[in-house]
Structure 1
Amino acid sequence: MQNRRHILKASAALAGGAITGFPNIVLGQSVRTLRFSHTDTSVGAANEAAMRFAAAVEKYTSGRCKVQVFHSGQLANDAKSLDQLQVGGLDFALTGVVTFTPHVKDLSLIALPYLAETYEQGWKLYDTSKFIKQQADLLPAKGMRIVGNWEAGFRSFTTNFPLNSPADAKGKKLRIAPVEMIRWIMESIGFSPVVMPVTEVYLAIQQNTVSGQENPIDTIYSQRFYEVAKHVTLSQHVYSPRWVAMAERTFKSLSAADQEGILKAAKEAGDWNRTEVRANDEKLLAEMTAKGATIVKPDLSAWRKASEGAVERARKEFGATAVDQFIAEAAEIRKSMS
C-alpha cells in the first residue's frame, strides 16, 4: 500500500512536468552542452574566469545550457578557434581582441601603441569607444558575436637576452600574433617578427627558433614563457584585452531568456577577470622573479618613441582620419582619468 502511494505521488509529479526536489529539471527539456575554447593553461585567471562563466551560465539558464571548458588550445589555437565558431565546431572562444583582425581589418587599430596607461583607462576605452563598437558590430555577419569584455593586460616582452632598450632588439627574431599592427610596432622597434600560434612558442624559444615573444603578464605566467626567456621587460606597448566570442548560429538558436543569461554570465565573469588580472600583476612578477626571471621596468619614453613608426604606417594603411580619431578618443579618456 505504501509503495502504491509512492507510485501515485511520482506519477502526479510526472504528469505536472516536474520531478519533486529537482526544480530545474522539466520533462522534455533538453540540456545543451556548449563548448568553450581558450589557449591559456589550466593555471591562471583566464581559465578560472571561464569556469566561473560556465557555472553562471548553468545558473542563469536554469540548467538548460551547460558550458564545457577546454583550455590549453586542446580544440584549436587562437586563430582557428574563431574559424571554428564560424563553421559550428565551437560555441565560445576566448581570445585576444587582436586575434579578430583577419575578420575585421580595422580592428588592427586597437593594437596602436600606448593608447592606455592604466587598466581603468583600458576598460573605459573598450566599454565606451564608438570605434570599437562599430567594429564589433560587424562580427555577427561573419558568424560570431562578442558577448563579453575580458582581460589579458598590457603586452610586454620575454626574451632570452637582456632587453634594456630598443637598441637591444635590432635584428632579433621575436614571435608575434598574426596582427599587422603588432608586426609594425615590432619592426619599428627593430625586431624581426615571426608569426606563430601561442601554443608553439615555448618550444620555439627553447629551440632558439625565436629569441622571445610579447604578451601580457598573465599570459607570460600561465604559458611559463619566463622559464625559457628569463628576461621580462615591462614595455607595456599595447593594452591587450580579450573578447569572449560566441557562434552567431548558437546565439540565435537560444531563447531570449537564455541569451540574456549568457550575457549576464559573461559580464559577471569578465568583471571578476578584469579585477583579478589587475590585482595579480605584481604577485605574478614576484613569483617569476623567485623562479629565476629578471624583471626590468624601463623608462617608457624610449619605447614610445621607438614605436612611432607603426603609427605612421597605420595612417598610410587605414587613413589619417580614422587613426587620428581613435587616438584622440583614447587620449580624451587618458586625460579625463589622469
Structure 2
Amino acid sequence: MLDKKTLSRLLMSAAIVVASAGSAAAAETLRFSHTDNPGGSRQAAAELFAEKVAEYTDGRYEVQIFPSGQLANDPKAIELLQLGGIDFTVSATGSYATHLPTLNLTAMPFLVDTYEQGWELYDNSDWLQGEFDKLPEKGFRVLSTWEAGFRSFTTNEPLASPEDAQSMKMRVFPNDMIRWSMEAIGFQTVVMPITDVYLSIQQGIVNGQENPVDTINSLRFYEVAPNITLTRHVYSPLPLTIAEKTWQSFSDEDKEAVRKAAAESAAFSRNLVKSSVDSQLSQMTEDGAKVSVPEIGPFREAVQPVYAKAKDVYGEEAVNNILSDAAAIRDALPAQN
C-alpha cells in the first residue's frame, strides 16, 4: 500500500504531466509567409499579429513567421494558402488578382491621393468588400489590410517624365493593371518575382522597379537603382489573408481572436508605414539615393488609356463602381495642401 504522502506526490506529478501535455497539444503552430526583410514593416506587423494571436487564444495557437520569401514568393505563397500548406500571408492586392481578376482594378492608377482615402477605400468601399467576400471560395479570405503605401519608381537612370521611360525596362509583378500602366507610360515591362529584382537590376536585366517607399527601403532597391521618383501612381496596401481551410478549423471564439489580432496589427502597420516615409527617404538620401518629385501631369496623362482598357477587359460596370467609390472618398476626404 502506498502511504498518503507518496500517493499525493504521484498524483501531483501525474497532474503536471497531464497539464503539460494539454498545453503542448493546445499550442498549435500556424505558418505565416511573407517576402519582406526581417527589419521591414511587414515583419514588425507580423510579430505583433503573432503576439496578439497567442494572447487572444490563451496560447492555443503559435504563429511562426517566415520572412524574406523563405517558403515562397508572393504568387506561390497564395497558392500555398489555397492548398493549406501555409496559414497566413500578406501581399499586394494585385497579387491576389490571379485568383480573382477583378481585384486588378484596385491597381488602376491614381485612384486615391492620401493614406486616409486609401484606408477608407479598403475598409468601406461596397464594391471592394463585395469582391473580398468572393475570396473564401478561392481558398483564402481577407482578415484586414496592412499598409505598404503608394508605389513609386527606383531606376538606375533619372526618370523625369514618360519620355525617359521609353529607353527603360521596368520590372513588374504578375498583374495586368500595373503592366498596362507601365507600358502606357512608355516602359518595356519584364515580369519577375520580387525576390529576383535586386540582382536583375544589378545585372542590367531591368533598369528599375516600382514599389512603395517602405518596400524600396526594406529590400534596398535604392542601392542598385538610386533614382527614386515619387510618382505615387498606385495606392498599394497589403491584405492579410488566411487559408480558408485554417479558418474553418477555428472555433467561433478563436475566429474572433484572430480577427481582433488582425485589426490591431493593421492599425499598427498603417501608422508605422505612414509615419516612416520621410525618415526612410532621408536615410536613403544619406546612403546615396537621389529623391525627386516629378511633374505628375504628364504621368497622369500617359495612363489615361488604362481606364478604357480596364472597361474593355473587366466590364464597364465594375470599373465604374470602383471609380465612383474612389471619387466619393476623395470628395469626402480631400487632400490637405
Per the normalisation by structure 1, the TM-score is 0.94
Q: Is 1:10 equivalent to 2:6 in the alignment?
A: no
Q: Is 1:290 equivalent to 2:292 in the alignment?
A: no
Q: Which residue pairs with 2:73 in the alignment? A: 77
Q: Is 1:139 equivalent to 2:141 in the alignment?
A: no
How far apart are 1:138 and its partner, in Å? 1.2
Q: Which residue pairs with 2:41 in the alignment? A: 45
Q: Which residue pairs with 2:332 in the alignment? A: 336
Q: Is 1:193 equivalent to 2:189 in the alignment?
A: yes
Q: Which residue pairs with 1:128 in the alignment? A: 124
2:267 paired residue among 264, 271, 277 = 271
How far apart in 2 are the matches of 1:277 and 1:129? 22
How far apart in 2 are the matches of 1:317 and 1:56? 41
How far apart are 1:256 and its partner, in Å? 1.0
The aligned amino acid for 2:9 is: I
1:310 paired residue among 306, 309, 324 = 306
The aligned amino acid for 2:284 is: M
Three-state SS of the structure 1 residue aligned to 2:91 is: strand
How far apart in 2 are the matches of 1:28 and 1:280? 39
Q: Is 1:220 equivalent to 2:216 in the alignment?
A: yes
User: Identity over the aligned pairs, expressed in percent?
Assistant: 46
Q: Which residue pairs with 2:206 in the alignment? A: 210
The aligned amino acid for 1:134 is: G
Deviations 1:228-254 (A, max 9, x none): 000000000000000111110011011
How far apart in 1 are the matches of 2:145 and 2:12? 46
How far apart in 1 are the matches of 2:283 and 2:192? 27
Q: Which residue pairs with 1:97 in the alignment? A: 93
How far apart are 1:310 and its partner, in Å? 1.1
Moved over 4 A (4+): 1-6, 11-15, 25-29
Equivalent residue pairs, number: 332
How far apart are 1:171 and its partner, in Å? 3.8
Q: Is 1:63 equivalent to 2:59 in the alignment?
A: yes
How far apart are 1:14 and its partner, in Å? 5.3
How far apart are 1:321 and its partner, in Å? 2.5
For the 8 Å contact 1:140–1:248, the answer to whether it is kept is yes
How far apart are 1:320 and its partner, in Å? 2.2
Structure 2: give runs of 5+ residues left out of the alignment. Answer: none
How far apart in 1 are the matches of 2:97 and 2:167? 26
Three-state SS of the structure 2 residue aligned to 1:121 is: helix
The aligned amino acid for 2:79 is: D
For the 8 Å contact 2:147–2:266, the answer to whether it is kept is yes
How far apart in 1 are the matches of 2:71 and 2:85? 9
Three-state SS of the structure 2 residue aligned to 1:101 is: helix
Deviations 1:60-111 (A, max 9, x none): 0000000000000000000000000111211101111110011001111000
Q: Which residue pairs with 2:248 in the alignment? A: 252
How far apart in 2 are the matches of 1:134 and 1:27? 39
Q: Which residue pairs with 1:167 in the alignment? A: 163
Deviations 1:93-142 (A, max 9, x none): 11111100110011110001111100000000000011111111111111
How far apart in 2 are the matches of 1:154 and 1:227? 20
Three-state SS of the structure 2 residue aligned to 1:194 is: strand
How far apart in 2 are the matches of 1:269 and 1:331? 28
Three-state SS of the structure 1 residue aligned to 2:211 is: strand
How far apart are 1:9 and its partner, in Å? 7.3
Three-state SS of the structure 2 residue aligned to 1:199 is: helix
Give the RMSD, CA atoms, in angstroms. 1.9
The aligned amino acid for 2:187 is: F
Per the normalisation by structure 2, the TM-score is 0.94
How far apart are 1:325 and its partner, in Å? 2.2
